[in-house]
Structure 1
């Protein structure tokens, strides 16, 4: 899609929308009237050319920001090795993060049932509270 198909205000709207994903505020910052900003913002998002331009820009941003798993692991390995003479907590943290990324870590477990898998005892119900609100402690 050619940029020339969009007006300057529409292009500015796209750039502003990508800052905070707020169509109304993007319309205001792009120069549209505050009175009509909500309507214009919604209309702009529904226009195929603008929606496509937003999607393309979002993909460009994601492509630039995304590191592959291999790149991340290499960086963590570099951190762990480079810090061998410094604070060992940094190395341990880098190794732990790399282990999590590869699935080599013990997940945190939380018991959601009572003792030995039994039900959790209800100490006080809402009906009890309404029956005697003074004994809420």
Structure 2
């Protein structure tokens, strides 16, 4: 039995954190290198309904570009992100989702607040320790 519904009942708004420079109307699609971890080909596009989770996505994504958060809309069905829901946060309090369908960029969120440098360094240290243990913390 699947532990995450195929169509969560969340109306958003939804956000995607990245370093990519996108414009309204652009589509985010799976099939490219992930912005996280070992940069494996991503079979899903990940998004969230909380600015905090999108902030982590923007701050932790690979690359040298500016961290950005976009308001997005799914163009098809989506499900709870099992990497978080099943493994870390039962019930999905982070309201994190994934889809195999494109996400349409609606607008860039300009007024988000980054995490403190201490909180960011703590997260980076934690992810590095998990990596040393052979755990791919971000898929």
Q: Same fold (TM over 0.5)?
A: no
TM-score, length basis structure 2: 0.26
Structure having the higher helix fraction is 1
Structure having the higher strand fraction is 2
Give the structure, 1 or 2, with the largest relative contact order (CA under 8 Å, sep 6 or more).
Answer: 2
Q: For the pair shown, which has the larger CA radius of gyration, 1 or 2?
A: 1
